[in-house]
Amino acid sequence: MRYISTRGTAPALDFENVTLTGLAADGGLYVPESWPRFTPEAIRALAGLSYVDTAVEVMAPFVGDALGRDELRALCAEAYGRFDHEAVTPLVQLDGRNWLLELFHGPTLAFKDVALQLLGLLFERFLSQRDTHLTVVGATSGDTGSAAIDALAGRAKVDIFMLHPLGRVSDVQRRQMTTVLAPNVHNIAIEGSFDDAQALVKAMFADRDFAGRFRLSAVNSINWARLMAQIVYYFYAAVRLGTPDRPVAFSVPTGNFGDVFAGYAAARMGLPVAKLIVATNVNDILHRALAEGDYSVGTVTPTAAPSMDIQVSSNFERLLFDLHGRDGAALAQTMAGFEATKRLAIPAAMRDEAARLFTSARIDADGMALAMRHAAERSGQVIDPHTAIGLAAAHGADLDPQVPIVTLATAHPAKFRDAVERATGQRPNLPARVGGLFEREERYATLPATLEAIEAHIAERATAAVPA
């Protein structure tokens, strides 16, 4: 399998190189050159497989000959062996039609672990054969940061610099990052929003001199391997509910459009997905884009679902690439216009095309709190604010009542226990595996949200510097 850039001019890469590379050199994102296809028989054959075996089947076409099948299986077994549930991503039934897909059984209690535990192992495996040290730079609104740090702390040949927005992540999220004192882990609180952090990461990649000198790499969902690993649980859940003989809809709490893009990829691979519900909080650029064609950036409003307080959704570019007929030059022009004006009007024909698979909803603070309360009272499930947004959107969706709806439960409620307690009166406990968080020493730098300040900070600390 080869990977091409959404903007058409960066060199195509194989799986190993796409995993170690962040943003493409032309500023685009890497996508598979073509979508592997699973026939209904191939999907039926997944029934009864363990999560690890499903992962091998679904990911093998993307990995190609970069890893042998046994080796891929061993890496998956190691990554998912760290989850505290045998099913890795268990399904929980709420009522006759609604299900939760619990994605928070990994070490840092959010869906990010599913991909990042594997990515950490892939980095180690691919770097073991190279005389190279990487500098991973990342931006987090709270969950990617802790999952990436857990996956990379103490690993040879990698430094990780993680930018989070000062004061805009939950106390549990911050401490999960800042109490990891491994020498290769560097936390930076920036005086700005997640969008500022993400823009700084992209600006570091665009600074080709800096990117080359420090051998930058990415753990955000701009890295294709992240999305690849997330495709697996769409297959795993749908097959358990009777696919390919029964289509399934998914409601996805959405910020950077990575998780829901993995669902789109699953559909392109042949999984019968009835609908993907893009559930946003009041930072609703994606809802406006899909419902009205208005992809224009507003100011970020802090909410009780902080991981989704995002305006510029990186992975929307991957969908736009397909909506532009995979014409990289045309998309590069569209993105240049968007980057200059912060607005993009999506033509009706593209919107109609997207609407064949996607629908969307914007859930405000009251809707989110109500969904948490209802889940607790009616189904005995304590859910986190992000999951609540997904569930509220699922309840409001206008879909065939025969189609089951799986809402992705993207974080453990204890990560956001103040918001959960406010809505439900119940204060969820942190699982034992993250105990002691509030007794540990924290370490992080606070910096202004400027490229100069961040690059200078990294340059002083990164191991990977190649002489200029």
Ligand X SMILES: Cc1ncc(COP(=O)(O)O)c(C=O)c1O
Instruction: Give contact residues for ligand X (rule: CB under 6 A).
Output: 110, 143, 221, 253-260, 307-308, 386, 410-411
Q: Which helix (DSSP H) or strand (DSSP E) does residue 7 occupy?
A: none
Number of Cβ within a 10 Å radius of residue 52: 19
Cα distance from N-terminal residue to C-terminal residue, the chain: 34
Least Å distance, CB 267 to ligand X, is 16
If contact means CB under 5 to 8 A according to the sort of partner, which of ligand X, ligand LJ64HWYM, none does residue 411 touch?
ligand X
Q: Is 415 a catalytic residue?
A: no
* The pair of three-digit structure tokens given for residue 441, joined into one six-digit string: 């020493």
Is 221 a residue that touches ligand LJ64HWYM (CB under 6 A)?
A: yes
CA 258, distance to chain mean position in Å, is 5
- From the list 112, 157, 275, 415, the catalytic residue is 112
Q: Which does 314 bind (CB under 5 to 8 A by kind): ligand LJ64HWYM, ligand X, none?
A: ligand LJ64HWYM
Taking contact as CB under 6 A, which single stretch among the options 87-95, 139-147, 179-187, 280-288 is the one that binds ligand LJ64HWYM?
139-147
**Amino acid, single-letter form, for residue 155:** R
| Nearer CB in complex with ligand LJ64HWYM: 177/405 | 177
Whole-angstrom distance, CA of residue 312 vs CA of residue 9: 23
Listed residue (201, 174, 269) closest to 230, CA to CA: 269
Neighbouring C-beta atoms of residue 299, cutoff 10 Å? 8
By the rule CB under 6 A, 307 interacts with ligand LJ64HWYM? yes
**Binding partner at 217 among ligand X, ligand LJ64HWYM, none, C-beta below 5 to 8 Å by kind:** none
* Pairing label, strands 294-296, 343-345: antiparallel
* Contact range with ligand LJ64HWYM by CB under 6 A, out of 181-189, 241-249, 253-261, 334-342: 253-261
Residue 290's nearest CA partner among 269, 270, 267, 261 is 261
Q: Out of 108, 135, 193, 256, point to the residue binding ligand LJ64HWYM (CB under 6 A).
A: 256
Is residue 387 a contact point for ligand LJ64HWYM (CB under 6 A)?
Answer: no
Quick one: which of 347, 415, 339, 351 has its CA closest to 383?
A: 415
For the window 324-363, what string marks contact with ligand LJ64HWYM as x by the rule CB under 6 A? Answer: ----------------------------------------
CB of 174 to ligand LJ64HWYM, least distance (A): 12
CB 26 within 8 A of CB 215: no
How is residue 465 annotated by DSSP? P
Asked if residue 314 binds ligand LJ64HWYM (CB under 6 A), the reply is: yes
In one-letter notation, the amino acid at residue 316 is F
Q: What are the phi and psi torsion angles at 460 (to 5°)? A: -70, -25
- Give the nearest distance from C-beta 336 to ligand X in angstroms: 24
Distance CA 106, CA 108 (A): 6
Name the CA radius of gyration of the chain, rounded: 21
Residue 140 binding target from ligand LJ64HWYM, ligand X, none, CB below 5 to 8 Å by type: ligand LJ64HWYM
Give min distance, CB of 221 to ligand LJ64HWYM, in A: 3
Residue 148 CB, shortest distance to ligand LJ64HWYM, in Å, is: 8
Q: Which of 438, 431, 468, 464 is nearest to 109 (CA)?
A: 431
Binding site partner of 254, from ligand LJ64HWYM, ligand X, none, Cβ cut-off 5-8 A by kind:
ligand X
Strands 3-5 and 30-32: antiparallel
**What residue ranges bind ligand LJ64HWYM (CB under 6 A)?**
140-145, 220-221, 255-256, 258, 307, 314
Which residues are identified as catalytic?
A: 112
